Amino acid sequence: MILPQEFTAYTSNLFGTGRWEHFMQSFSHETPVSVRLNPWKTSANPFPQSEPIPWCRQGFWLKERPHFTADPLFHAGVYYVQEAASLFLDYVLQQAVTAPVSALDLCAAPGGKSTLMRAALPDGSMLVSNEIDLRRAHILLENILKQGHSGVLVTHNAPKDFAKTNLIFDVILADVPCSGEGLFRRDPAAVKEWSPQNVRFCAQRQRQILRAIWPCLKDGGLLIYSTCTFNTYENEENVRWIAEELGAEILSVPVLPEWKIAGSLLADYHQPVYRFIPGTTRSEGLFMALLRKRGQTNAFSTRPSFLREQLKKYPFLHLLYDGLPLPQTKGREQIPSVAQALSLSVRETDFPRSELSKEDALRYLHREALVLPAATPRGFVLVTYQGHPLGFVKNLGDRANNLYPKPWAIRRL
């Protein structure tokens, strides 16, 4: 891998000789493959040849990369393919949040941290999962629906839009857009797009995002700030700016030495921050810091049970999904939705079910017509794989019309 000269000069000095050598050696190794199980849909690990990730209760490293697209369990939301370092969020939330909260994932697409966040938060919590880019927001929505939990609302808004409301959150995750240095090993395009100018641009944009959303965080509330980049401009220096300019205390999270997570790399700055560096940690790159907001202007947050209702009061907020899986109306007919199929609230008695073989499950995910067993009732049928719902068909007897969402369909290889 040929890295930009300016990146090499800066980052080798930042890391120091040992970490830099290990980082460069990591380019000659396969990138680690990891998954996170959905605790609401399975308690059994479908990957017997796997190794637990110590900072995430449902995280596992795999020995090799399977063909995830050809696994119906992946599409059923039984697990999520997620980079190991980002799973550190589970550990941070375990340490910091012990009671139900109203939470916001501000820059949520494609949904890995949002689905993890809702799984990690205490029962009774409510999460708003937001993405400013509409195309990415629909990818986020797909992943949220596959997770199946009703305590997640999906929105498509800019940070400044939330600041126009009276919504106040207990916890905000700001996994901000960054220069992507931590993606260099697995994404050559990130190398081509890197420049010192882009680093500075990202650092300033991150501050704009944080300043815009800051009024929506409760006094005493928690901000989790993260990037997938290495430089101090977007990391330590922005954390220091949050603390000094916006008013926050930087909190410590106890970690084990064997995890090999680095602390601050900014000279003479010794606040607790957490860095995952490829070659040192078994992961790609990640930076994370936990902060508590100071002040006494908004002592009360929006109660989790009221969050859905409150969110709907603001017509300028684009609500893509309110967490309630409802049927679709087409003429006089009520057509069950894929959100209903994948929801954790669906009951065995709600719809007739038909269990599919793996071959038929893949046909379904390709949006091909199926023929169900002769005893299957006519009408809308919930199809499952290994007991896990995938979606609906309309059974006509001689064939079953496929109702799997067209944008979600997988391609034949």
Phi, psi (rounded to 5 degrees) for 279: 95, -30
Q: 346 Cβ partners below 8 Å, 6+ apart? A: 325, 340, 382, 389
The whole-number pLDDT of residue 329 equals: 87
Condensed to tens digits (0 to 9), the pLDDT of residues 252-274 reads: 999 999 999 999 999 999 999 99
Q: What percent of the chain has pLDDT over 90?
A: 93
| Catalytically active residues, by annotation | 228
> Rounded CA gap, 342 and 316, in Å?
29
Condensed to tens digits (0 to 9), the pLDDT of residues 125-176 reads: 999 999 999 999 999 999 999 999 999 999 999 999 999 999 999 999 999 9
DSSP bridge pairs for 293: 248
Condensed to tens digits (0 to 9), the pLDDT of residues 213-246 reads: 999 999 999 999 999 999 999 999 999 999 999 9
Condensed to tens digits (0 to 9), the pLDDT of residues 297-311 reads: 787 999 999 999 999
CB 213 within 8 A of CB 106: yes
Tokens of 83: 């980079």
On whether the pTM is more than 0.85, the answer is yes
The whole-number pLDDT of residue 299 equals: 76
Q: 132 Cβ partners below 8 Å, 6+ apart? A: 107, 156, 157, 158, 159
CA distances from 155 to 86, 134, 314, 338 (A): 22, 10, 12, 19
Average pLDDT over residues 33-52: 95
CB 381 within 8 A of CB 393: yes
CB 274 within 8 A of CB 285: no
- Rounded mean pLDDT of the chain? 96
